[in-house]
Amino acid sequence: MISPLASIHPEAIIGENVEIGPFVFIDKNVVIGNNNTIMPNAIILYGSRIGNGNTIFPGAVIGGIPQDLKFKGEESTAEIGDNNTIRENVTINRGTAAKGRTVVGNNNLLMEGVHVAHDALIGNGCIIGNSTKMAGEIIIDDSAIVSANVLMHQFCHVGSHVMIQGGSRFSKDIPPYIIAGREPISYAGINIIGLRRRGFANEVIESIHNAYRFIYQSGLNTSDALAKIEEEGLTKVAEVEYIVNFIRNSERGIIK
């Protein structure tokens, strides 16, 4: 299962049933779990930690040093969970002293040419479109769909179950369950189709919709809108409570 043309450091730890193609390079201080497929010309560098059942396509580079001038060679990791598909030419840099690790969770699809910068945290079940670029210390919560050629400013936070239009660029947070699009990027409604596909009950979807009516369509400022949502008792629904907490904890502010 391991090509004789692959270059694997003797200190690298490789699990069971791992397929490694020709011209793969695996550095020292790398741990790779079971049942992974690493295709030709992929590069797994120092500090990479890869779980089980992943497929890594040709030209992907995992664990490259951060593109951050503050990085001084400190120990850090690039951590990949289980059952991810990492397509051609994806780059995932390891962390810096800021967080110490870059994390891609489980069951994600990172399409061709995606860049995940230092200290980024990507959750589970996300789809990231071709050539999307994520700057340092961004956070993407579970089940987000980020279309192709999206540019994410450093420190941005993207909520769960969002859909972001291709070609968008943003420097503010995108709250959960919405569609974000247009130019400049803005709120374009809730992601009703996505929520139904994910099995959200109609009553929950309606509560989410009502919350966003206060946030985006009532004319209230954000603080007053959140207070009104609580006054109306909408935060009894866990998904609405998540929305309120997400916005209250936003350091960059949310898109309008």
List C-alpha distances in Å: 159 to 42, 77, 145, 235, 244: 31, 24, 10, 17, 12
Name the active-site residue from 27, 82, 119, 141: 119
List residues bridging with 56 in a β-sheet.
Answer: 38, 86
Strands (E), 129-256: 133-134, 139-140, 145-146, 151-152, 157-158, 163-164, 169-170, 178-181, 186-190
Chain mean position to CA 104: 7
Which amino acid is it at 29? N
How many other CB atoms are there within 10 angstroms of residue 189's CB atom? 13
Q: With CA atoms as reference, report the closest residue to 95 among 141, 153, 38, 49.
A: 49
Name the active-site residue from 51, 136, 159, 194: 136
Please, which residues have CB within 8 angstroms of residue 181's CB and are 6 or more apart in sequence?
164, 165, 168, 188
Name the active-site residue from 21, 95, 118, 157: 118
Q: With CA atoms as reference, report the closest residue to 232 among 248, 219, 247, 215.
A: 215
Catalytic (active site) residue 118? yes
Question: First CA to last CA across the chain, in angstroms?
Answer: 51
Q: Which residues are catalytic?
A: 118-119, 136
